[in-house]
Amino acid sequence: MTTPEGAGFDRDARAWRSPVAWLVLLCTFAAGLSFDLWTKYWSFEHVAPEPVVLTPGQLVEDPDYRLPWHPGVEVVPPDLLDFHLVLNRGAVFGIGQHRRGVFIALTVVAVCAGLAVFAGWTDRRSRLSHIAIGLVLAGGVGNLYDRYVYGAVRDFLHMLPRRHLPFDLSWPGGSTELFPWVFNVADVLLLAGMALLMIQAFRADRAAARAAAQESGGASRSSRPSDSGKASSGRASDSS
């Protein structure tokens, strides 16, 4: 697979040299991170009957802390989306519980990798790639903030609540819900950014294939006059 910019990527036009590319990246990052942190704050203030106030380091000092019970809030009927508060001590969608240090380290590495991809793998005109990387960075840093400050990630989005798997099926954890995971805006930003990067890579591969085909066709066309010229000169020598 080629880089997102295709086979004709000009290394002198890398994104890190472009103020506009940095502006797109940083604006996307700032907007996504602000929206994620604000929605977490709002949900923990308003979804439960009483505001849930978390202090820095609280969940590290008290790993057995549990949120007060609350019924949740139906947002998109019928049973498409609820707001329901959850403290996630794992990764995206609750995977890998109680691995705080590991996920902090992995997130830092992922953020550095995202910046490296922006600087060395995209050029200044690739706006879709810059937006995608900004979304990934915003999602990663949003959850990193929660994990570092509070000891767990604040989740509140529950898709397809009260809908269950058919035929009495269940997930490995025992849940029979169709979608048992609760997530947040940062998770959505991460997945959206990765999807955009995949789309950009697919588009770049197609562009590179078209460019290679055009170059191949041009080379074959340019060789034809010389071949015909050789044939003409051969006929002339035979007649002489």
For residue 220, pLDDT over 70 is answered with no
pLDDT score recorded for residue 226: 52
**Residue 179's pLDDT is what?**
92
What whole-number percentage of the chain has pLDDT above 70? 81
Separation CA 115–CA 137 (nearest Å): 8
Residues in the chain: 240
Highest-scoring range by mean pLDDT, 26-40, 55-69, 71-85, 207-221: 26-40
Q: Is the pLDDT of residue 170 over 80?
A: yes
Instruction: Tell me which of 3-12, 178-187, 194-203 is least confident.
Output: 3-12
Mean pLDDT of the chain: 84
The whole-angstrom separation of Cα 56 and Cα 195 is 33
Contacts of residue 151, Cβ cutoff 8 Å, sequence gap at least 6: 57, 58, 59, 60, 61, 63, 89, 100
Contacts 24+ apart (CB under 8 A), 118-121: 118/15, 118/16, 118/21, 118/25, 119/14, 119/15, 119/16, 120/14, 120/16, 121/3, 121/4, 121/5
User: Looking at the annotation, which residues are catalytic?
Assistant: 155, 187
pLDDT at 60 over 70: yes
Sheet-wide strand order for 182-183: 73-76, 81-88, 153-159, 182-183
Looking at residue 10, its pLDDT comes to 59
CB-CB contact of 176 with 169 (8 Å)? yes
- Per-residue pLDDT tens over the stretch 115-149: 999 988 888 888 999 999 999 999 999 999 999 99
Total-model pTM = 0.81
pLDDT digits (tens, 9 = 90+) for 84-108: 999 988 755 555 566 777 888 889 9
